[in-house]
Amino acid sequence: MDLDIYFRFLLALLFVLGLIGLLAVIARRFGLGYRVRTRPGQPRRLALVEVMPLDAKRRLVLVRRDEVEHLLLLGQGTDTVIEAGIASGSLFSAELARSGREAESTP
């Protein structure tokens, strides 16, 4: 009889955890979750370009907004804008490729 009570408790626990998981999936499916979707046909205005952890408490984050990038230092208690208004990464890669071709052409 003792084993029967433990088994019923385990089944009830698994049932409740399954219900919580199912409700979380349904909530995300109907837009009650974290992400906000854009309207169809409209481009996304925000993007997370790159994240680089510095140590356990701080990280550098490169965020793109409307083709302009911003470098942020995110910490445990403070958030700091390191550089704002950086040209988009595609412009940087094109400039880097062009400078590489110029370096190869010079003897």
pLDDT in tens, 41-90: 777 788 888 899 999 899 999 998 888 899 999 998 888 898 888 876 55
Residues 49 and 31 in one domain: no
Q: What is the pLDDT of residue 9?
A: 95
| Judgement on whether residues 33 and 53 belong to the same structural domain of the protein | no
Question: Is-contact 50 59, C-beta < 8 A?
Answer: no
Q: What is the domain range of residue 61?
A: 40-107
The mean pLDDT value for 34-41 works out to 66
Do 49 and 60 lie in a common domain? yes
In this structure, are 33 and 78 located in the same domain?
no
* Residues 43 and 62 sit within 8 Å (Cβ to Cβ): no
Structure tokens at 39: 């309207």
Are 65 and 100 found together in one domain? yes
